[in-house]
Amino acid sequence: MHHVLVLGAGKIGSLITCLLAGRDDYTLSLGDVTLDSPKRLVEDLELPRVTPYLLDARHPDSIGAFLKTHPVDAVVSSLPYFCNPLIAGLARTHDVHYFDLTEDVEVTCQVKSLSAGATRAFVPQCGLAPGFISIVAHDLMTHFESLDTVKMRVGALPVHPSNALKYSLTWSTDGLINEYGNLCYGIEQGERIPLQPLEGYETIELDGLLYEAFNTSGGLGMLADSYAGRVRTMNYKTLRYPGHCEKIHLLMKDLKLNEDRDTLKRILERAIPQTLQDVVLIYASVTGTREGGFFEENYVKKVYPQCIVGRPWSAIQVTTASSVCCVVDLVLQHPDSYAGFVTQETFGLQDFLANDFGACFR
């Protein structure tokens, strides 16, 4: 029996809890800044192996006290990215495995530093991008003798866009602004280089529909570090409906709201609706040589909302929560095989897809 502490009962944390609780070999503690959200989830969905707790990251002593008196095998942070170094530090102190969903490069570096010499696994970036897209791209790259270009493209979009941005708030607004406003990284001519967000504009057609793609921060995960010197070009871009990038550029750069992110967050959350009617697009392309020829291989997948435990969940919730649950399960099945800082590309795609939690990506 695996005992897991999930911190954060929001959009993703709630589904992580439901998915893990659906397995007989898991018991869950669900902590949140208020007790109402986890209690309501447990009661409404009748989750017998989930216990709600009041745990506030602004008061880390309470989480430390919980870990001291409630032994767990792993902590999963579905809190805002800036909370994760604190949670990773507590996981290190209490000798438990650690997982998060962060897309923030600096936070990942802090988690890596905290994990040095740890006997447990510290696995950040366990979502969709970074996360699953890194596992897919790494698997494709192993099919080549030499690598030329690696493209990773991911988008979570409303099925029925109804506003000028052609977008709905499908996940964390803080995380979205972070992706649009922070420095990006990629590989050019074999060297890891910084790239500007909202630049590198291109269009791509999938299943007859046209999308735009542009640089955003964090989606590449640690692949640029792992593959520098081994591939000519590698980059990650976010997929949106045409016209979105130009308007976000106006907001963040021309109106300088990247320098006033609190105001930008208020504007977006007041004006842009949320939706459960979304679609997640996943596209990876690798070109390189094998057997004397120049080849290309692709992975293309669309994921739509699903009904789980009698409740509708958006596609971004399903893909993100499934990704982290799959990685958690792979580690806890073989806990002695993982220690210290663990990158997403450590996990094999076939192992991921064969896992119960990888079903939505098959």
CATH number, position 265: 3.30.360.10
Q: What is the pTM of this model?
A: 0.95
Residues 52 and 112 in one domain: yes
The answer to whether 226 and 130 are in contact (CB under 8 A) is no
Beta-bridge partners for 146: 289
Beta-bridge partners for 154: 238, 282
Q: Which of 89, 124, 159 is the last residue of a domain?
A: 124
User: What amino acid is encoded at 64 in this protein?
Assistant: G
Residues 113 and 70 in one domain: yes
Q: Which residue range(s) make up the domain with 307?
A: 132-312
Count of Cβ atoms closer than 10 Å to residue 27 Cβ: 17
Beta-bridge partners for 74: 4, 97
User: Number of folded domains in the chain?
Assistant: 2
Answer whether residue 349 is part of any domain. no
Residues 229 and 298 in one domain: yes
| Residue range 206-252, pLDDT digits in tens | 989 999 999 999 999 999 999 999 999 999 999 999 999 999 999 99
Q: Which of 124, 150, 180 is the last residue of a domain?
A: 124
Give me the count of residues in the chain: 362
**Average confidence (pLDDT) over 6-35:** 96
Mean pLDDT of the chain: 96
Residues 138 and 279 in one domain: yes
Strand order across the beta sheet in which 340-341 lies: 50-54, 26-32, 2-7, 74-77, 97-100, 121-123, 340-341
Residues 35 and 155 in one domain: no
Given a cut of 90, is residue 137 above it in pLDDT? yes
Handedness of CA 234, 112, 341, 13 (dihedral sign): negative
Residues 140 and 268 in one domain: yes
For residue 308, give the 3-state DSSP assignment: strand
Answer whether residue 351 is part of any domain. no
For residue 152, give the 3-state DSSP assignment: strand
Residue 78 and residue 86: Cα distance in Å, rounded? Answer: 13
